[in-house]
Structure 1
Amino acid sequence: MLAKRIQPMFFQARRLYVELMFQVMGRALQAVSEIDETVQQEANALPEGFLFEMMVMPDGARLIVEHTGNGRFRYLGDSAPRAVDLSIQFKHIAHAFLVLSFQEKTSVAFANDRMLVDGDISRAIRMTRILNRLEAFILPKLIAKRAVKEYPENIHLPEKLLNAARIYLKVATNFVETVKA
């Protein structure tokens, strides 16, 4: 009896967690593209106006970012002004939760057929490298090693702490600006 009441709350909490993580990731992608040269170099290979989407199928939570040029991304929220160029789609909310709660690496989720890529695979790999770099900065090393395929050896503690603080500050500022608007 108790399980029947708790289960819907669990599903709702999982859905809310995924939605919140997409909002944080979108804003963090914008922030890391403003402060990290490696991310900027990766993003510069993408065309200006390139739209990237990560979503839960069929109509679940999503994040959309646009490459605005000079290696910078802009978080657009959950609606695109036009058709997206690249979409990474989780087949189920449970699959998204596994990846976004760092229980499963993105590469493992893809290998286990939990995700689809709609668009150019080379661009998907580029965006995955950008997301991995972001996670390496904003997550504790122990958790980041579980989340990314290979933890970057060239990120040292002072750089990690400084960039993480800058990213979190920009994310928090973006949340506050969104609330004020």
Structure 2
Amino acid sequence: MDIKRFQPLASRAKRQYVALMFQIMGRALQAVSEVDQEVQQEAQALPEGFLFEMMVMPDGPSLVIEHVGDGRLHYHGSSAPRPVNVSIRFKHITHAFLVLSFQEKTSVAFANDRMLVDGDVSYAVRMTRVLNRLEAFILPRFVARRAVKEYPKNLHLPEKLISAAQIYLKVATHFIQTARA
């Protein structure tokens, strides 16, 4: 009987965690596209105005990112201004929680049929590489190795620390600007 009482609480906590992580990831994707040349090169292959969405089905938390040109990404929050080009959809909040709490790699979640890709798969793969690069920067190495398929061999500590500091500063600034608006 006690377990039944805690299940809704656990589900709400997972949902809130996933929603918060999507907000952080969205802002961090925008920031990393301003800081890192490799991310800019990946994003430049996307058409200008390209919209990417990551969400929990059917109407759970989400994030929407737009390629605004020159390899720069813009975070739109949880709603798209027009139909998205690529959507990565988690089938359940628990699946999103596993990935966003770094208990399961995105590639493993996809292999375990926990998520769907709607749209051009090559663009989805490109966005996954951008996400992996972001995670390599902002997460401690031992956590990032659990989160990404392959940790970048050319990412050394000084570059990681400087880029992570820049990304976190931009994310914090964006949160503050959003709170003031």
Q: Could you state the TM-score of these two structures normalised by the residue count of structure 1?
A: 0.99
Distance in 2 (CA, whole Å) between partners of 1:130 and 1:83 is 21
CA distance in structure 1 between the partners assigned to 2:81 and 2:64 by the alignment = 10
Shift of residue 52, structure 1, vs aligned partner: 0.3
Partners in 2 of 1:13 and 1:90 — Cα distance? 17
1:31-110 to 2 correspondence within 5 Å?
31-110=31-110
Q: How does 1:110-149 map to 2 (within 5 A)?
A: 110-149=110-149
Name the SS of the counterpart of 1:29 in structure 2. Answer: helix
Kindly state the Cα deviation for residue 3 of structure 1 after the two structures are TM-superposed.
Answer: 1.9
SS of the residue aligned with 1:53? strand
User: Secondary structure of 1:80's match?
Assistant: coil
Aligned match of 1:14: 14
- Where structure 1 has 5 or more consecutive residues not aligned to the other structure, the ranges are none
Give the deviation of 1:4 after TM superposition. 2.4
Distance 1:44 1:4 in 2: 49
DSSP 3-state at the match of 2:46: coil
Q: CA deviation at 1:24?
A: 0.3
Identity among equivalent pairs (%): 73
- 1:180 match: 180
Number of the residue aligned with 1:152: 152
- What is the CA distance between 1:2 and its match in structure 2? 2.4
Residue deviations 1:112-144 (CA, integer Å, cap 9, x gap): 000000000100110000000000000000000
Provide the rounded CA distance (Å) in 2 between the counterparts of 1:52 and 1:105: 19
How many matched pairs? 181
TM-score (norm 2): 0.99
Give the Cα–Cα distance (whole angstroms) in 2 for the partners of residues 156 and 79 of structure 1: 36
Unpaired runs of 5+ residues, structure 2, are none
Aligned residue number for residue 162 of structure 1: 162
